[in-house]
Structures are given as C-alpha cells and as structure tokens.
Structure 1
Amino acid sequence: MSDLAELAAEAYVYGFPMVVDLDEVGRFTRDGMGSVEPAPFNRFGHAAALAGPKDTFVSINNDTVYSAAQLDLSGGPLLLRVPDTGGRYYVLQFVDAWTDNFAYVGRRATGTAAGEFLLVPPDWDGEVPPGTKRITVPTTVASIVGRWACDGVHDLPAVRALQRATTLEPLGDGAPCDGLPVPESAVAEGELLFFEKLRTGMRAFPPAPTDQAYQQKFAPLGLLDSSSPYVSPSAELERALRTGHQRGKDRVEYATTHGTSPEQNGWKLTYDAFSYNLEFFEVGTVNSPQWVLQDRDASRTVRAAAARAGLWGNHGYEAAYAMAWDDEDGKPLDGAQAYTMRFEATPPVDAFWSVTMYDTPRYYLVDNPIGRYSIGDRTADLHYDRDDSLTLYLQPERPAERAAAANWLPTPPGPFRPILRMYQPHPAVFDGRYSIPPITRQEHPA
C-alpha cells in the first residue's frame, strides 16, 4: 500500500493544477467571481471595478480591471477582436486546462492597436482569414484572463468601453460544444472526488506529448480507466488514495512557501513560477532558456505551487511577482505587528508596480477601514522623502502622522502575505541590479 500511496501523492501534485483550474472555469461560467460577471463559454465576463474582498480568488490583483472568457473550442475556432487602447496597458493571457500560459495579446506582446486573432483547437487545418493571426489552443477548454490598467474610479468608463469592444464569436456557424467533463456522480466527496476529477480531466484534455507518456505510470490508481474505479474502490486503493491525497497536499503547501525560488531580503523571487510550459509557444510568449524550466519533474512541482498561490498568474516577463511570508529577521509576518518597507529606488518597470496585501492561507484580499488593498506608483498622494525614497507602512492601524498615513497599506489580523508586482519589468529586476527592500518590523507603530 505504501508504494500505491506514494504514487497517489505524485498524482496529486501532478493533477492539482488542472483540477483547481477546471473548478474555476466552471465557477466563472456558472457564478462569475465577485466583480466579474458570470458568462457562458466563449463569451467575456467583465468586472465593473477593481477587485476587492468579495473577489474570492487566490492572489487576485487590485491593479487592473478584469475580463475573463472561458473557451470551449470543441465546436470549432473562435474569432477574437481587440480594440485600439491608445497606449493603455492591457494584457489578455491565454491559459490551457493544465495551466500553461501559451499566448499573450496586449501592450507588451502585440501592441495596443486594434487586432484580430483566430483561436483554433489542436490539429485544426483550416484557413485563417486575411489580416488575422492564428493562435493554436493546446486543450479544447482554456481561459482568457484579461487585465486592464485603471487609474481610479474616474477611469472606469474608458475601461468599460474597451471591455465592450473586446469580443469573441465563432468562425462560421460553429457547432455544439462539449463543455467540461462530468465526474461520476456516485463518487463520494473529498479525496476520491479529486482523483475522479483528475481521471475525467486527463481523458478530456491530453497534456503535452512528454506528459502523455508520464501519465502511464498512474494506471495502477485507475486514472487511465475509461469508467470510474472510485465508485466502489477496493479497501487497499481507497486507503492509498486518501493517504496519497494528504501527502500530496502537504507537498504542495510546502513547495508554495519553501520552494526553490531564490530569496532577496526575505522575499521569494517567484519570477519563474509560471515558466513550467515547455512546449506551447504561441503569440506573445518568449521561448528562451531564461523562461523555460528544463527539469520536467521539478516543473510539475513548480506548476502545482503556482496554482496554489497564484492561479492564472503571468510569466515573469509580463509581470514579475515577489512574495513574502517573513520579515527581514525570518519571523512570520503577522497583523499584530507593525512593519515598514523603504524603497531607496522604486521598481524599474515600463508599466507600473504595486504591493498588494493578502491573508493566509487563502491568499484573499481582506476588508479594511479605508478600502485600500494595494499601494504603488499610481496611488494618489504618496509621500516621498527628500532623497526621493519611499517608505510604506504595513500595520493594522492608521498611522498618526499624515505622511505615514498617506503611505499606509492596512494589514489583516493574523498572518499575512504581500505580493510585489512589477508589470513589464526591466532586465534589472532579473539580473540582480535591482534589489527589493526588506520588510522591517517596528517596535512601535507609526
């Protein structure tokens, strides 16, 4: 049983990203997500405001207004049209069912002029209309995660107009779509249902060719069976699956907080957290050794940790993410304490940067008295010191001094984890010339 349980643990780490991804795909089509309205497959759902605590999605950003479309190409290609944004930053990120970022459309990737793109399923061999760029989608179900820069409430009408002008439509008449695979209803909730979702997802959405061979090792778990073995599993299999599920979950949690990402002043530099895609490089991606994790086994663990702490996050060249769980002395960050971050120089970017506050272990935004969930270069009335340095105050209570209050990012009660985001980062972010300041504990709140 121990060998079977260990195999189940490996299957959990391997399959966790797809299972959680497809759960979110289904949620967005049925219920939406906080500010993002629900939308059926092949139609955009748009947020009308920046994200807040009602947007219950792991590590959601508070910098951009979201648009999301869940794609089902089993009925044929889709035509995507994007408007001219007049130089405004935006990105449409394409994510397959295994959470590979396989294409980008937006300011960095394709510019800000109007454009048309044909999204086609695997092995499609039809003709692409003139003036339209082809994007091959690796799995028939996938997601477009759109982010629009927004400078505040006054800027929302302009963003809404751009959202309305971003459209999807079938090429030709289209055909009925398959939708998401449906797990066997008789499978019990919990650990067994996880493996049932993985089994149906693996059958519906074949992975990259190298992983198709890798999947064969999971045959003893029933993951390659055409019908569910989890309705009435043997006692041995059930024990192995339940034990393996917990082991795998523990490994994903550990990889999330103690992974192999380099550290700088207490920050985890998760710039490579989404570099696990090894095979699918469509419009807007960068296929270079810097952005491809060559160790396939290691990349599977990285992918699971990325899905746990930042599902649907961008490659580092689009937006570089750094995360912190501890202060500069290695002590866990906690809302009972007060902290500062002093930027001698702010992050070098072509778009913008921010620090966003999340609770743990959910990694959600948390309500606070001033409704501020992030702070950065677009925050109004920040106070810079005479030497042009910038000090941020991370604490639960409003600072007494006016200058400190202007630079206050409220912390939630209990443990928290901030993310520093750098959109369109400069090379200095990656080659070590730019250093992120530590989070320093203060004996007395400002």
Structure 2
Amino acid sequence: MELTRRQMTTPGSSVLGSAPLNSFAHMPFTPDASFEGVVSPNVDTLYSMAWLDLSAGPVRLSVAATPGRYFLLPLYDAWTNVFACPGTRTTGSGAREFALVGPGWQGELPEGMERIDAPTSLTAIVGRTQVNGVRDHPAVHAVQAGYRLTPLTDAPVSTAAGPGPVDLVTAPVDQAAALDAATFFAMTAHLMADNPAKPEDAPVVERIALLGVVPGRPYDWDALSPEAQRAIAEGAAEGLARVRSAGRTPRAEVVDGWMTPYDIGSYGTDYLQRAAITAVGLGANLPQDAVYSLCRADAGQQPLHGSNRYQLRFEAGNLPPVNAFWSLTMYNDRQFFVDNAINRYAIGDRDALEFGSDGSLTLLIQHASPGARLESNWLPAPEGSFNVMLRMFWPRPEVLERTWHTPALCRTG
C-alpha cells in the first residue's frame, strides 16, 4: 500500500493513475487490446483514484448528482480494508458532501457534511463510474469532474512521496518482496504510528513487539542478536512464500468451473487472504458492490481454448441477478484483452443482445465469427488459451448468499 502510494504521488510520475496527495486522477478512456497497463482491465467503468493524507486534518469529498449512472467510491485504509463506500448502493445518486476524518482528529465540521471516520491517516480511493461504450466517455467525464477533494484545514500537506528516491519502474509488489527483514519491519513500525492496527489485531501487535516492532518507535535491528536476526529473516522469507502461494491459488468458491472470491474487500484478522489479494492487485471491492467470477475450464473441466466453440446459456429468468449491470469479459492467457475484428472485449446487459423465443439468452464464445446474424451475442476469443470473467455490479442477495451460480460453459464444437 505505502509503496504504491509513493510511486503514484511522486511529482512528475507517469505511472497510470498518478496525482498529488489529496487529488483525483481520472482515467479518461476504456482500454483496448493494445493496453497492458494493468492485468484484467475492464470496459465497464472509468476509474477515479486518489491517495489521501489525513494526518494534517479532514478532507472534503464532494460528489455531484449522478442520476441514472452507477458509481462507487470505496475508501481503503492503510491495511487495504474498505471502511466506507459512498456510491449509488449506499448513498444514492444525489449530490453529497463528506468529511473524511483521520484518527484522533478533534474539531467541528461545516454544517451539512457527512462525517466518515478513517481508521488510518493513509487512505486511498479507487472509484469506478459506469461507462456504456466509447461514445459515453464525455458523459462519464462530466460525472468524474463532479468528484472533488479539498482540505478542510489550512495545515500544509507534504508533497514528498517518501524518504529517499522513489522507484517508478519496479512494480510495488516486487519492491515489497525485495525488502530485507530489517527494512520491512522498520517501515512497518514507522507507518503504524499514523496507521494504527485495529483492536482485534492486538494479539499480533503484541507478538511483533517481541521482535522490537513498536508503532512509532525506531526499529533497532542492530540491537537484536545474530540468532534473532536470522530467525526473523527466515520467518519473513517463509511468510513471503506463503503469500505468493496463496496469491497463485486465491481462496474462492468453485461451482461449474467458475471461481468466485467472496471473502475480499474487508478481511478482519484473515491476514493471509488480505496479503494474497493485495499481492494480486490493490483495490478489491466489497462483494456487496461487485462480485467477479473467473472461468478457465468448460463443463467437462477442460481448459478453455480458441480452437473450440462454447456457449454460455442463461435460461429465462436466470440472468445474473444485479441491481446495476453485468458483463462478461474475454482475456488471453496473460490477462489482457483479445484483439478482434469487431473490437469487442466484453458483452453484457447493456448490449443489444438477441434472446431466444423462450426468453433464454445464449452467448457464443469462439474465435471465428458465428456469422453476421449471430454476432450480436458473440464474444470473440483468441486462437489459443483464454479465460472469461463475469462481473456483477451491485449483486442481489441470491449472489451474496451463494444460491445463484453462473451456468457452466458448454463446448459445442
């Protein structure tokens, strides 16, 4: 989290989504097949990202009215938990004014502002605004312009991204993995001064204090015996290996070939899951806001491949149950979009789909065109291996309660 913040708030940074502290960076476009800035991109939403330092005082988050358009502005603490999520689901589509308040702040807020208490001074926003195709970009840009951050105090905010030079090239997750134990725990002790652990974390805080890691106190690695240093370094290496292993096989429910993680967005004391999800990518949504299901195999448990043809059939009345919208996105084996003749990277309920006479919906997933008459329901696949992801925004209770499941992909040729 901290290394990502440093990289994205360094003045002059060209990292995607970079902006000064307490300022939004808005993504103005939906990516195409040439985009490889992040894995598993989407064409459903445009992002609005911000990194906040609340140690100097509260920050006002202004949201203009967004009638008819789904959006969410999840707020993440320094431990990557979503602690609040202004948006269509929670606060509606009217204009709102929020005061984001850091830990320990005492003072009066302007009348009419809704207070949101952040558990840590370091806070991130990874906002998403519904976009309905490229022609919809100008309308979304107008919505994004209605998201504003302004300080509520005159206290200066540091513009320094962090101590020493900032690596703008190496991915933050790789930077974190390369830290030696002494540097890692020194950074942990320093950051915990303004980003305290939760009460339920007390047992772990007490345990790491035995290693000399005390919030706000300089970490003295040299005061440890060689045996202690060696044991801590070995433990850190073992922990990193466990995180990497968990990240390769994330905890998820698997039904009919669809892998769906539900225990994300807020982790409690599930530290391994939290670290594994963060290693894959920051900014996981709460399931109440969005559920993503990934499919790599067909109904016969065979890997998906462009040499075959597949169908995803939703019977009448059994479409993905959502309050906002759903989509199915195609990815190659590197988790990027697939170049195709009709420039279609996802298909969903906002497209002009053709339904069967019985009310069913059949999506065609294959490399070659099924013919002009059927292209409305075609999601182009690559020639080789691929996977598809079903995104359900603001899912209904049957998704969250796990009583609705995505049908299996059936091979048809």
TM over 0.5: yes
Structural mapping, 1:116-131, within 5 Å: 116-131=97-112
- CA deviation map 1:385-414 (0-9, x unaligned): 22222222333x232322443322233565
Contact 2:213 2:219 in 1 (8 A): no
CA spacing shift, 1:310–1:189, aligned 2, 3 Å: closer
1:42 deviates by 0.5
**Using the alignment, how far apart are the partners of 1:358 and 1:215 within structure 2?**
41
Question: TM-score, normalized by length of structure 2?
Answer: 0.83
Question: Corresponding residue for 1:161?
Answer: 142
Segments of 5+ residues of structure 2 without an aligned counterpart are 167-173
Question: Corresponding residue for 1:431?
Answer: 401
Question: Corresponding residue for 1:41?
Answer: 21
Contact 1:334 1:416 in 2 (8 A): yes
Higher RCO, 1 or 2 (CA under 8 Å, sep at least 6)? 1
CA spacing shift, 1:309–1:238, aligned 2, 3 Å: closer
1:408 aligns with 2:378: yes
Structural mapping, 1:27-426, within 5 Å: 27-30=7-10, 31=13, 34=16, 36=17, 38-52=18-32, 54=35, 56-177=37-158, 181-182=162-163, 191-193=177-179, 195=181, 196-197=183-184, 199-204=186-191, 205-218=195-208, 226-227=218-219, 229=221, 236=230, 240=234, 243-244=237-238, 247-256=241-250, 259=251, 261-276=252-267, 278=268, 296=269, 299-309=270-280, 311-344=282-315, 345-360=318-333, 363-379=335-351, 381-395=352-366, 397-412=367-382, 415-426=385-396
Q: Secondary structure at the match of 1:211?
A: helix
Contact 1:349 1:424 in 2 (8 A): yes
Contact 1:255 1:302 in 2 (8 A): no
Contact 2:60 2:97 in 1 (8 A): yes
1:79 deviates by 0.8
1:335 deviates by 4.4
1:68 deviates by 0.8
Contact 1:33 1:57 in 2 (8 A): no
Across the aligned residues of Structure 1 and Structure 2, the Cα RMSD in angstroms comes to 3.2
1:65 deviates by 1.1
**Using the alignment, how far apart are the partners of 1:243 and 1:172 within structure 2?**
43
CA spacing shift, 1:121–1:238, aligned 2, 3 Å: closer
Q: Secondary structure at the match of 1:429?
A: helix
- CA deviation map 1:328-377 (0-9, x unaligned): 222333445443211113112111001123345x6444544443222111
Contact 1:309 1:363 in 2 (8 A): no
**Using the alignment, how far apart are the partners of 1:151 and 1:189 within structure 2?**
36
Residue identity (%): 36
Q: Secondary structure at the match of 2:329?
A: strand
Read off the aligned partner of 2:346 and give its amino acid letter: S
1:139 deviates by 1.6
Read off the aligned partner of 1:441 and give its amino acid letter: R
Contact 1:181 1:200 in 2 (8 A): no
1:136 deviates by 1.1
Q: Secondary structure at the match of 1:351?
A: strand
Segments of 5+ residues of structure 1 without an aligned counterpart are 1-20, 279-295
CA spacing shift, 1:368–1:399, aligned 2, 3 Å: closer
**Using the alignment, how far apart are the partners of 1:80 and 1:269 within structure 2?**
32
Read off the aligned partner of 1:269 and give its amino acid letter: T
Contact 2:330 2:345 in 1 (8 A): yes
Read off the aligned partner of 1:264 and give its amino acid letter: V
Q: Secondary structure at the match of 1:158?
A: helix
1:169 deviates by 0.8
Q: How many residues align?
A: 392
- CA deviation map 1:33-64 (0-9, x unaligned): 55x4x311101111111244525234333201
Question: TM-score, normalized by length of structure 1?
Answer: 0.77
Q: Secondary structure at the match of 2:76?
A: strand
**Using the alignment, how far apart are the partners of 1:203 and 1:423 within structure 2?**
37
